[in-house]
Structure 1
């Protein structure tokens, strides 16, 4: 195996071990931080310098997307007017591996004077940041995965994981659900499936509709033009059945030479799966998987066809 692959494996194992170490470091301060944030009437403001700053920005983004309003601010900007964004209703989380970062410690007196709660996250429980913080979360690693033991690698990964742990704890405390997540991610796949309904995604034009006495030969042409792999049998304005690729294959095996002249009503699926236009896309996806089908008919309360939703429409 390549020597580079060996290096990668060693790095991943070192970082995984660094994350697992944090389980032993967790104490009652973590619970206190969660309760502090739950009682926060303002915002969670995260700050850090360098790599810690990048990790802080990611944690802020995760918190915001999971129900805890949060944003990142660089400590370098704090002394150029941004101190004004911090109020006593906020909670500040400062991240520093050493806990001695000068740029962070310089505005601690302002936080203390303004009675703004400070959560310190560092690898040194005896640092100045830990000393002045309202609560301190310890993230200590035995060493960096970096071959020189210099570049922040294991320490940043462990800090990021601790941020995820904090977000997960807050999500459970707030009873944060999939639908809540979708509200913050309307453009993502999850938001799409949880917020949109059948009426939003169904195909309504040029539907492959045929009467029940249509011959199978003609029905095949209609199915081909419809490009949905099915045809809908409608009688008196109501859905009476569907003809699928599976129905066609079975009919060809059974009828052989008579196939093209047989009316579709003799081989159609007589109880197709129909749904309301108000059903959510994620429910349709579950239904397609459960029934092992690739499309559902969207009908009104009188069983009149409104549209068709297939697998592709669920992914648009």
Structure 2
């Protein structure tokens, strides 16, 4: 097999060519794109996406993105539509047909049938002057001057452009609708992604002991509390039970270097503790606590409610939940 070009050079050419096409795509976003977004919002129904060949595959991904971001959508294969699947279209739906050329035989058969239903038709097409473009109510201009393959035949750049344009459509609909973090969590309850979206501190800290000593506690009491609760730290509280500090294994090691043997046993928790420690609340998202731990290079966080110590979250807890 004869290799004409360096493999790395070929790969870079493909990526740069597709990146250039995406940059050009951004320039084409105009009032017509906004009309497409408003058409979907005003219809109040679902987005029915259709296509054939590689466009059909891209259409299925766009449908998945729309559904996961709060816009009800379904896929209708262009070939199956003319054999009964057209019946899935409801009166308040919007149909998006994806086709690079806009002139394929299947699309020419499908377009009049869609228009007969009375719904709005949006064309995601590279050539607005194609049959599909001329017969659509609005156009999502997915311009791709040339495919990435040297024969200009294999759908590559055109599918990348269509995919990106579909993402842009979905995210615009998400933001206009005011789709929230909590809304997103409803559609992604499974796996580590789901946990990142809904898992809160109160779901984790209840499994742990709650090591705590008063400010007046001596060294022996502190060591026994840290050892028995096995979290590598203990909270320090004042006479009212409010959090004032934290003592970790690291604090104890640093203390041993700082003081001589005679002074060690005269120290209290108030002398050793790190004052005003970072704390989490029960309704904090676990993923936010993880980010806080990583940024501060710490492995445990005290959990408080109205200043009172109610729990601990350890880095191991977050590891077990698959957040790391």
Give your verdict on TM over 0.5.
Answer: yes
Matched, 1:248 2:252: yes
| Superimposed CA distance per residue, residues 229-266 of structure 1 (whole angstroms, 9 cap, x where no aligned partner) | 21234688946543113321321121143476455524
Question: Does the Cα contact within 8 Å between 1:204 and 1:306 map onto a contact in 2?
Answer: no
Give secondary structure in 1 for the equivalent of 2:164. Answer: helix
Query: Structure 1 301/29 Cα, relative in aligned 2: closer, same or farther at 3 Å?
Result: closer
Query: Structure 1 3/220 Cα, relative in aligned 2: closer, same or farther at 3 Å?
Result: farther
Per the alignment, residue 159 of structure 1 pairs with 162
Question: Does the Cα contact within 8 Å between 2:68 and 2:184 map onto a contact in 1?
Answer: yes
Per the alignment, residue 69 of structure 1 pairs with 72
Question: Does the Cα contact within 8 Å between 1:251 and 1:259 map onto a contact in 2?
Answer: no
Runs of 5+ consecutive residues of structure 2 not aligned to the other structure: none
Question: Does the Cα contact within 8 Å between 1:203 and 1:309 map onto a contact in 2?
Answer: no
Per the alignment, residue 52 of structure 1 pairs with 55
Question: Does the Cα contact within 8 Å between 1:47 and 1:72 map onto a contact in 2?
Answer: yes
Give secondary structure in 1 for the equivalent of 2:259. Answer: helix
Per the alignment, residue 283 of structure 2 pairs with 278
Per the alignment, residue 182 of structure 2 pairs with 179
Moved more, 214-223 or 116-125: 214-223
Per the alignment, residue 28 of structure 2 pairs with 25
Per the alignment, residue 81 of structure 2 pairs with 78
Per the alignment, residue 202 of structure 1 pairs with 205
Matches within 5 A, 1:48-127: 48-127=51-130
Matched, 1:308 2:312: yes
**How many angstroms does 1:307 deviate by?**
2.1
Equivalenced residue count is 314
Matches within 5 A, 1:188-227: 189=192, 191-209=194-212, 216=219, 219-220=222-223, 223=226, 226-227=229-230
Query: Structure 1 258/191 Cα, relative in aligned 2: closer, same or farther at 3 Å?
Result: farther
Question: Does the Cα contact within 8 Å between 1:217 and 1:260 map onto a contact in 2?
Answer: no
Give secondary structure in 2 for the equivalent of 1:176. Answer: coil
Distance in 2 between residues matched to 1:149 and 1:42, nearest whole Å: 38
Give secondary structure in 2 for the equivalent of 1:73. Answer: strand
Query: Structure 1 258/232 Cα, relative in aligned 2: closer, same or farther at 3 Å?
Result: farther
Question: Does the Cα contact within 8 Å between 2:18 and 2:157 map onto a contact in 1?
Answer: yes
Per the alignment, residue 261 of structure 2 pairs with 257
Per the alignment, residue 300 of structure 2 pairs with 295
**How many angstroms does 1:44 deviate by?**
0.3
**How many angstroms does 1:12 deviate by?**
0.5
Give secondary structure in 2 for the equivalent of 1:107. Answer: helix
TM-score norm. by structure 2 comes to: 0.84
Give secondary structure in 2 for the equivalent of 1:106. Answer: helix
